[in-house]
């Protein structure tokens, strides 16, 4: 089982690789460096996050794993109080992702929550996240 400290550090590093500003979100997650983040790019990045916290690799974040995920997001937001990380703390809460309220979050539920998060933040509805969206 991966250490919660390692998982927390990974989430923090993934979210803040290029610096503290929300603009680093674009740099970090824009995999093809075209100045915008597509849903596909976001899904690849979030897939890595899901895999990190799914410590038993069963495709489900159980209560214990999700508690570690919650804490990692909260710790990252405390260390770097950017608006983006605050949105991640609240937008990816268990209540937002456990769609069937069974106490577990499947990859599918996580993907659906991600899609909803993406649509909420794509303010101009152009199908990509760009500087004007944050």
Confirm whether pTM is higher than 0.75. no
Q: What angle do CA 86, 119, 123 make, to 5 degrees?
A: 80
Nearest to 41 by CA among 53, 27, 52: 27
Domain count, the chain: 1
Q: What angle do CA 30, 35, 36 make, to 5 degrees?
A: 65
Residue 61 structural domain: 4-133
Distance CA 20, CA 108 (A): 30
pLDDT in tens, 75-94: 877 777 666 666 666 777 88
pLDDT of 9 higher than 50: no
* CB-based contact 53:7 (threshold 8 Å): yes
pLDDT in tens, 57-66: 999 999 999 9
Give the DSSP H or E segment for 15: helix 4-16
């Amino acid at each position: 089982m991966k250490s919660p400290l390692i998982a927390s550090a990974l989430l923090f590093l993934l979210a803040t690789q290029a610096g503290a500003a929300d603009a680093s979100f674009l740099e970090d997650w824009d995999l093809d460096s075209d100045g915008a983040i597509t849903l596909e790019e976001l899904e690849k990045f979030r897939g890595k996050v899901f895999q990190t916290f799914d410590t038993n690799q069963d495709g489900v974040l159980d209560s214990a794993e999700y508690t570690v995920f919650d804490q990692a997001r909260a710790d990252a937001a405390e260390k770097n109080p950017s608006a983006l990380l605050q949105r991640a703390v609240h937008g990816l809460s268990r209540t937002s992702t456990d769609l069937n309220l069974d106490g577990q979050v499947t990859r599918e539920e996580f993907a659906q929550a991600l899609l909803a998060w993406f649509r909420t933040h794509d303010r101009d509805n152009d199908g990509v996240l760009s500087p004007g969206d944050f």
